[in-house]
A and B are shown apart, each in its own frame.
Chain A
Amino acid sequence: EIVLTQSPGTLSLSPGERATLSCRASQSVSSNFLAWYQHKPGQGPRLLIYSASARATGIPDRFSGSGSGTDFTLTISRLEPEDFAVYYCQQYGSSPPITFGQGTRLEIK
């Protein structure tokens, strides 16, 4: 089972700033099959990125994904107030099982 480690655990930034979130895998993720989700209280997770860098339908272009192998990054170029949430990475290259990182909380500074 691939273990995903996200860093930092909490990121404190202001609207307008750039956010960089990291996801590191315990072994190489096949075909770079890695997704990113945004999760807010009271809602289901929202798919942002799949296949490491492909934006899901309707996702603003301030969200971008990059990386390959074991190191992946989610970048939010200019934070909007609605972007403050918890973000999870998920791998499906060695599915099953699907595995998630422990999450990064993005909070307003």
Chain B
Amino acid sequence: QVQLQESGPGLVKPSETLSLTCAVSGSSVTNIFCWGWFRQSPGKGLEWIGSIYHNARTYYHTSLQSRVNISLDTSKNQFSLQLTSMTAADTAMYYCARCRVGAGPRYSDYWGQGTLVTVSS
């Protein structure tokens, strides 16, 4: 059974960098899938942040591209998100997910439960 679990700080100060990790079990990050990060701001819908393929190719949302980095750690079977220059607008529930691959990332078939990140001094 595929499971994903997000971990990281629940509170980040403005201008700091957010670092989140997604631990994967039941599937290898080197299998032919992609691994993505999403978020949901309070009272809003889902937003795609970016995805990384099994071969480490990355795709990022253009609105966040200058601030985001997603990486794989094959030794720990996990992947990570870094988001720099955090502001209050980045306060959200952050989710990781496994996605199917194509010319670009496709749909996500397994999701973590999410981790709440608040940006505040």
Contacts and interface: CB of A to CB of B under 8 A. Distances in A.
B97 A92 contact: no
A37 B33 CA distance: 19
A101 B22 CA distance: 25
Given A43-B113, A44-B95, A100 B48 contact: yes
Contacts of B59: 95-96
Contacts of B46: 37, 39, 45, 88, 90, 100, 103
A35 interface: yes
B109 A56 contact: yes
Nearest to B103: A95
Interface in A74-109: 88, 90, 92, 94-103
Contacts of A33: 102, 106-107
B45 A97 contact: no
Interface string A53-77: 0001100000000000000000000
B109 A96 contact: no
A102 B107 contact: no
Contacts, number: 71
Contacts of A96: 48, 51, 59-61, 104-105
A46 B105 contact: no
A44 B108 CA distance: 11
A46 B104 CA distance: 21
Interface string B79-121: 0000000000000000101001011111111011110000000
B113 A90 contact: no
B61 A97 contact: yes
A19 interface: no
A51 to B, nearest CB: 8
B111 A92 contact: no
Contact of A92 (B45, B105, B112): B105
23 contacts: A33-B107, A35-B107, A39-B46, A43-B113, A44-B4, A44-B97, A44-B111, A44-B112, A44-B114, A45-B108, A45-B111, A95-B102, A95-B106, A96-B51, A96-B60, A96-B61, A96-B104, A97-B48, A97-B61, A98-B36, A100-B45, A101-B45, A103-B46
